[in-house]
Amino acid sequence: MDLNAQIVYFLQQVINGIQLGSVYALIALGYTMVYGIVRLINFAHGDVFMVGAFAGFFAVSVLGLSFLPAIILAMIVSMVLGVTIERLAYRPLRRAPKIAALITAIGVSIFLEYFTSLNFVFGPNYRTFPRPFEVTSWNIGGVAISNILVIILGVSLFLVVALQLFVTRTKVGIAMRAVSFDHDAARLMGINVDTVISITFAIGSALAGAGGVLFAIAYPQVDPFMGIMPGLKAFVAAVLGGIGIIPGALLGSLIMGQAEVLTTGYVSSTLRDLVAFGILIIVLLVRPTGLLGKSGVEKV
Amino acid sequence: MLSRRILLPAAAALAVFVVLQTAISAELLNAYQITILTYACIFVTYALGLNVIYGYNGQFSLGHAAFYGIGAYASALVTKIVFQGNPLSFPLALAAGVATAAAIGYLIGLPILRLRSDYLGIATLGFGIMVKVLFDNADKVIPAMGGARGLTGIPKLTSFAWAFFAAAAAVILVRNLIYSSHGRAIVSVREDEIAADAMGINTTKYKTLAFVVGSGLAGLAGGLYAHLYVFLHPSNFDFLKSVDVLMVVVLGGLGSMTGTIIAAVGWVFLLEGLRIVLPQEFLDWRMVIYPLVMIIVMILRPRGLMGGIELGPLKPGKVVRRLKAALVPASGKEA
Amino acid sequence: MAENVSSRSTVLATDGLTMYFGGLKAVQDVSVAVREGELVGIIGPNGAGKTTVFNLVTGIYKPTAGDIKLNGESITKLKPFEVTQRGVARTFQNIRLFPELTVLDNVRIAYHRNVHYGLLSAMVRWPSFNREEEQLTEKALDFLDVFGLADRHAEQAKNLPYGEQRRLEIARALATQPSLLLLDEPAAGMNPNEARRLMELINFIRERFHLSILLIEHQMRVVMGICERIYVMDFGELIAQGTPKEIQNNPKVIEAYLGKGVG
């Protein structure tokens, strides 16, 4: 390859990485919000993402909906699922040891994966996701930019900005931040903590649902286990950026996306997880609270 | 002096072994049932290792399967390559599995045990996934490891007796460790790391120690696993295997050996029992029922089945005071 | 009892101890000294930086500037457990016991550094293990006896009433066999009567175990009776030092405490 071709190849990889990172970001935001508020690694979040992708799949293939209604439907389905999980599985454990909630989250995750694998639910097989629009691609100096990328980027950016505004500008958003600091203090200030937690799960799950549809459009298949790896990586991205911090989740996701795509493009696809998780461990060792996290001195 | 508190349960355990072993020798159990019993013993050893790390030392690990896998691959390679399948080499192969897992536990533990709670969990999770990727690609460096195709042709050397006595040895060693000053130092880190430091406990040392012991036990279990199923695949040691064992330790009750033993055996029997109990057309429900059981147990007993309680010989010894000294000798500084 | 204090050797000396958290000044240029066998108090309003001084001395925080000497040797760079092994023990303002462990195990952990048996001899229960374990258990019970807690040795620490938890924490600190004991508001949450009895106990153990004691107290009244010398801190700095009498009449101290209804 000559230099020019190499540059084009590199840029193409970067573009692909941004696309993947944007999807991770939508999942990572839910992880980071939930962790920020209840200090729980919600392992079932990746499976909410999967259910969102399936909701989009049925919306398009069975109901024949176009992209926008399909993604909205998927967000609603995921939202309902996320809130239900919180209500039934996590809320009874609010005062229990943290690990009990974590194991329950893992239990919910396994349950969702295998329950949806049953033949009368989604079935265990891969299904090809029918794209709700024609795929077109623009060639800009040799770098292919598809309308999928544009849509993913557009939707992700819109949702991230909307979320940031919601958290910083609205009363509910401010209540969320209060709860994330201290449940009891927030309660004393008249904030209904349970409601705020429900809203957090609702928003986080809706974002994961949107992420599920976008993921399925970009890499067009769905299956009941599709949420495991993207879920894990999105969580890692959230930790990488600094858990509980919205811009951190975004930054971490973009880094994870690049790490994966560039490793695949230049080394080997089988080693991409090695690089992604290697970065995680190094970052944690150097900055235990993540790239944008505040490092604090433990109070004694 | 061994008290009746120790001797009676030891005799009971031996009796259980003799009954099962007789049943196996008399061919009352089929090969599948023997495998399940053997696997249950292996799982006890595997889970006990994590209980040392998480239950007693309080260090959250989501990557225990990595050490299980490292022990499995290391011991399988020793049997296959170094000893060419000579069955007398089995103890050495197991020792190699333990040593490799413990050594890697030491090397990885040293840097990452500085991290706390969830962050440590995430780092160990990352480590576990990295090890799995390395297994997937290992054939490029060591062809015998088989990479993503799996490692085949391991001689079947793990008998029920091997697995049973390995588990028994693991239980005894962990019990003796925990009820010693070193064990108390390990537990003090879980209870309050800053207070432990203030008591002169080298917390880094004891975190590393617990991690190495736990990894070594996982390595032992891995070696037995490799020579039971005679085939290793990287997916045998993925994230879900780390989750399985974490779940068993938490369901049993953190810091309870009794709980770990009950939950490990119960978990293996539940999964395999469902295979037998469920009608053919409902077999897919096995993996649906099991997480539901898990969630219900957690909601009903958030501190696990045993919640730090021990039974029989696994209880700490009673303190009997021989003489009631008036007060500490005038100079408290003499040792 | 304080007449020949100045002739005794210095156990602890901090020199210009300074600690910033980010831009926030927690402790500024604090120099305190404790001589052998002395009982010294640090008093000051909440947030004056008293506990930070303890955390610096015990190695939990590393000072931004300044030096800490124990028996003439710098311990500034030591890790917390090394500081303890050099003979500095402490209690915590908010009580940090090992809550799930028994009263006895709390004290036995503190005795750990005197244990000689190795890991393997523990794992296979070598005879030397049993012998030593018996001895250290006896010793731990002796320490509990001093504090009237021996009968409760099998109780989980978290189940003890508050006052007993305080006493257990001191017993545990003593079991590390220190030469210097740092007590962080040991009488917090006690009524005047309980506080007075605790101070008598502290005085008793000081003599019995040949200790030097540095004691933080929020209420001036509690330490007046038993401390030989007192340092007063406010806003991270030392504002006065001297005998209880001198402190009581020091205008700066009165100002620092004014309106706080204490003293």
| Average pLDDT of the residues of chain B | 90
Question: Are C17 and A293 contacting, i.e. CB atoms less than 8 angstroms apart?
Answer: no
Summarised one tens digit per residue, pLDDT across range B246-303 is 999 999 999 999 999 999 999 999 988 888 888 888 888 888 998 998 889 888 888 8
Q: Does A285 contact B at CB distance below 8 Å?
A: yes
Across the interface, whether the CB atoms of A300 and C55 are under 8 A apart is answered yes
Tokens of B188: 């003090």
Summarised one tens digit per residue, pLDDT across range C104-147 is 999 999 999 889 899 988 988 888 888 899 999 999 999 999 89
> Could you tell me which chain C residue has the CA closest to the CA of B322?
C138
Total number of domains constituting chain B? 1
State the fold for domain C96-177: Rossmann fold (3.40.50)
Q: Does B127 contact A at CB distance below 8 Å?
A: yes
What is the pLDDT at residue B64?
A: 97
Specify if A3 maps to a domain: no
Specify if A300 maps to a domain: no
Q: Does C85 contact B at CB distance below 8 Å?
A: yes
Rounded Cα distance, B50 and B54, in Å: 6
Q: Does C91 contact A at CB distance below 8 Å?
A: no
Name the pairing type of β-strands C229-234 and C10-21: unpaired
Across the interface, whether the CB atoms of A300 and B247 are under 8 A apart is answered no
Specify if B268 maps to a domain: no
Residue C165: strand, helix, or coil: helix
Classify the phi-psi angles of B139: left when phi > 0, otherwise alpha if psi is within -120 to 50, otherwise beta.
alpha
Which H, E and C letters describe B47-85, residue by residue?
HHHHHHHHHHCCCCCCCHHHHHHHHHHHHHHHHHHHCCC
Q: Do domains C1-87+178-263 and C96-177 have the same CATH topology?
A: yes
Q: How confident is the model at residue C2 (pLDDT cuts 50, 70, 90)?
A: very low
Q: Which domain holds residue B67?
A: 32-238
Tokens of A242: 């600094």
Rounded Cα distance, B213 and B66, in Å: 14
Specify if A2 maps to a domain: no
How many CB atoms lie under 10 A from the CB of residue C198? 19
> Could you tell me which chain A residue has the CA closest to the CA of C60?
A300
**CATH number, span C1-87+178-263:** 3.40.50.300
**Domain limits, chain C:** 1-87+178-263, 96-177
Residue C67: strand, helix, or coil: strand
Across the interface, whether the CB atoms of B177 and C119 are under 8 A apart is answered yes
Specify if A9 maps to a domain: no
Question: Are B144 and B80 contacting, i.e. CB atoms less than 8 angstroms apart?
Answer: yes
Specify if A296 maps to a domain: no
Q: Which residues of A touch B47 (CB under 8 A)?
A: none
Q: Give me the residues paired with residue A29 across strands.
A: none
Q: Which residues of B touch A113 (CB under 8 A)?
A: 287
Q: How confident is the model at residue C8 (pLDDT cuts 50, 70, 90)?
A: confident
Q: Which residues of C touch A300 (CB under 8 A)?
A: 51, 55, 60, 92
To the nearest whole Å, the CA of C3 is away from the closest chain A CA by 37
Specify if B217 maps to a domain: yes
Q: Which domain holds residue A265?
A: 19-286
Q: Which residues of A touch C57 (CB under 8 A)?
A: none
Rounded Cα distance, B120 and B127, in Å: 10
Specify if A198 maps to a domain: yes
Specify if B309 maps to a domain: no
Q: Does A277 contact B at CB distance below 8 Å?
A: yes
Q: How confident is the model at residue C6 (pLDDT cuts 50, 70, 90)?
A: low
Question: Are B270 and B296 contacting, i.e. CB atoms less than 8 angstroms apart?
Answer: no
Specify if A143 maps to a domain: yes
What is the pLDDT at residue A51?
A: 97
Q: Which residues of C touch B6 (CB under 8 A)?
A: none
Rounded Cα distance, C199 and C211, in Å: 14
* For residues C24-28, average pLDDT: 90
Q: What is the interface size between A and B, counted as CB pairs within 8 Å?
A: 122
Specify if B118 maps to a domain: yes
Q: Residue ranges of chain A with pLDDT lower than 50?
A: none
- What is the C-alpha end-to-end distance of chain C, expressed in Å? 24
What is the pLDDT at residue B333?
A: 38
Q: Does B130 contact A at CB distance below 8 Å?
A: yes
What is the pLDDT at residue B197?
A: 95
ipTM: 0.91
DSSP single-letter state for residue A89:
I
Residue C43 has pLDDT above 60, yes or no: yes
Tokens of B99: 């040593």
Residue C178 has pLDDT above 80, yes or no: yes
Q: Does A229 contact B at CB distance below 8 Å?
A: no
Total number of domains constituting chain A? 1
Residue C213: strand, helix, or coil: strand
Specify if B311 maps to a domain: no
Closest CB to C176: pick one of B180, B199, B202. B199
Largest distance between two CA atoms of chain C: 65
What is the pLDDT at residue B332?
A: 38
Rounded Cα distance, A196 and A191, in Å: 8
pTM for this model (two decimals): 0.91
To the nearest whole Å, the CA of B142 is away from the closest chain C CA by 35
